[in-house]
Amino acid sequence: MGMEKAIFGAGCFWQVEIDFANVEGVAATAVGYSGGHLASPTYQDVCGGRTGHAEVVEVEYDPAKVSYDQLLDRYQGPLFRLAMGHLHDRDAAEDAVQETWLQVLARLDRFEGRSSLKTWIFGILLNVARSRRRRESRLVPFTSLFRRDEPGGGPIVDPDRFNAAGNWTSLPDNWANLPESRLLSREVLGRVGAAIDELPAKLREVIVLRDVAGLPAADVVALLGISEVNQRVRLHRARGHVRRVLEDYLR
């Protein structure tokens, strides 16, 4: 039996591609776009939401080592990442994702369509993960409540990049001239995933829901029970941390 290919749509292919690449039996992965009305769009075009394209991941795999159904199971990257943000344990996160799908199947006939199906599923996962965290939580050192050195904390931009008048002395790096193949390389995507993983939970869940799962801001506000301003601030801080990591790597 020869190699086969499968294409999976993704709200954002950042971390989905890395998740597939780490599966035994997967020989190659590639990211790209599907559908849409603009020929040869750039990543910026698609992210702007003006072209009608969907971000997709093409997976070349050996069916003797991994089945399509197993790949489909793996296609839970954003759900798993969000569960990990709450539970901090791979086995617990995998159990939470499985419990989520069981609840989806059991409650599907009660889905009222007031949000997208994707948003509804993520809402179930959040409830499952939070419930498990409450059951399995342990006491943390009192001093840990006052940490200020977490990724995503502190200024979004290094204050040394401004002069006394508040003007830029060192502008943010412009990546427009970098080859798209480098921006979308496995190494860069891996750096993005690692930067997201090290964020505090409240920042991580927002950037996962917005930029990995591709949910709109209004849905994220409703799911997390936070204000639009709070959602925007958390996303800004999370993206700022990821950008700092990439700036250091791409220089």
What positions carry a catalytic annotation?
Answer: 12
Token duo for residue 122 = 């993520």
Token duo for residue 128 = 């499952």
Contact between 60 and 26 under an 8 Å Cβ cutoff? The reply is yes
Beta bridge partners of 6: 59
Nearest to 78 by CA among 184, 180, 219, 215: 215
Token pair 């029970």 is at which residue?
A: 225
Distances 72 to 1, 67, 68, 90, 158 between C-alpha atoms, Å: 20, 9, 6, 18, 42
DSSP string, 15-73: HHHHHHHTSTTEEEEEEEEEE-SSSS--HHHHHTT-S-EEEEEEEEE-TTTS-HHHHHH
Q: Is 71 left (phi over 0), alpha (psi -120 to 50) or beta?
A: alpha
Contact between 47 and 90 under an 8 Å Cβ cutoff? The reply is no
Contact between 74 and 22 under an 8 Å Cβ cutoff? The reply is no
